[in-house]
Amino acid sequence: MNIPYQIVVCGGVVPDPLQTLEPIATANGPALKNELLLPHVLDPWSAHALYEAAHLARRSAGSKVWLVSVAPKTKLQQVMMTIGQRVPLELVAIEGPASGFTDAADVAAALAAGIEGIAGLDQSRLLLFGGWESASRAAGATMQMVGERLGIIDQFQGVDELSVADDGALRILERIEGGQHQVSVCSGPPVLLGWATGNLPEPPNHPQIGMQNMRAIMPALQKARTAQISGGARFESVTLPKQQRATRIVKDKPVEEIAREIVTWVTAE
């Protein structure tokens, strides 16, 4: 049974994790030092969701993928130069901060409004994908609130695998404690999936897909509306982790005493 899905992926951009990130206090609240100068990438959890969406859309004829993103337009454009060559998609851009110091409820409201603004979206065929967690907005609640705003009751978090049965039912593997999976079966859309890592490969670069996407991505960036997102986290002070090495070679010391010393050293920080 072939069902043409409408797959909406929520995903933001984050600084490249290989960079040194230093929080600072500004007049508008907490931020990252030199954030706009750092190279950015698509949030890793969102990337898993997007690639899983691309594989599913390719297997289901007539399916379409949208990427809805709240991010600074300049950084989103930079990221889309890469992502746009891998997945055929339509971008819904929303101008807003990309840092992790934002309120999850405001981000969810902006994402839900962007999804509701997609012309011709049929919720009876809607699969809403996103990251179970986030490299910046790791509240673990954003996607849940997006689903609630859209009236999607069937929600699954920590998803590693999605398969479609012959009758159109969705078989979903969710992570649970002990390194195990919970197997759930959903009759069909609308459904929300918060992806963990997935299990399908990253699509390769395809210049033709990139050229096709960029024709629509640039106008989407130009039309991006601005979302009012308040700051969430606050902090009293911030210091970078200390690089410290103190090596001792001791023989025949009881394990309990070694553990006690380690705990004392850690808690002293």
Where residue 221 sits, what CATH number does that domain have? 3.40.50.620
* 41 belongs to a structural domain: yes
166 or 16, which is more confident? 166
pLDDT at 265: 80
**Three-class SS of residue 35?**
helix
- Residues 242-261: tens digit of each pLDDT: 676 777 777 888 889 889 88
| Helix, coil or strand: residue 117 | coil
* Weakest mean pLDDT among 97-101, 158-162, 175-179: 97-101
Q: Indicate whether 257 belongs to any domain.
A: no
- The half-sphere exposure of 9 on its side-chain side, counting CA atoms within 13 A, is 31
pLDDT at residue number 202: 78
Residue 242 maps to a domain: no
How much is the pLDDT for 88?
A: 87
Residue in 55, 71, 75 with CA at minimum distance from that of residue 63: 55
| The token pair that represents 115 in the structure block | 């999804």
Among all chains, which residue has been given the structure tokens 């454009």?
A: 77
Range of the domain at 18: 6-226
Q: What is the pLDDT of residue 193?
A: 92
The model carries a pTM of 0.79
Measured distance CA(118)–CA(24) in Å, rounded: 36
| 268 falls within a domain | no
Query: Is pLDDT of 189 > 70?
Result: yes
CA distance 178 to 265: 30
- pLDDT band, very low/low/confident/very high, at 218 (cuts 50, 70, 90): confident
In a domain, 193, yes or no: yes
Lowest mean pLDDT among 1-10, 35-44, 130-139, 150-159: 130-139
Q: Is residue 234 part of a domain?
A: no
Look at residue 199 and tell me if it is in a domain: yes
- Please name the residue that has the structure tokens 């997935």: 198
Number of structural domains the chain divides into: 1
Cα-flanking dihedrals φ and ψ of residue 108, to 5°? -60, -40
Q: Is residue 265 part of a domain?
A: no
Q: What is the mean pLDDT of residues 231-252?
A: 69
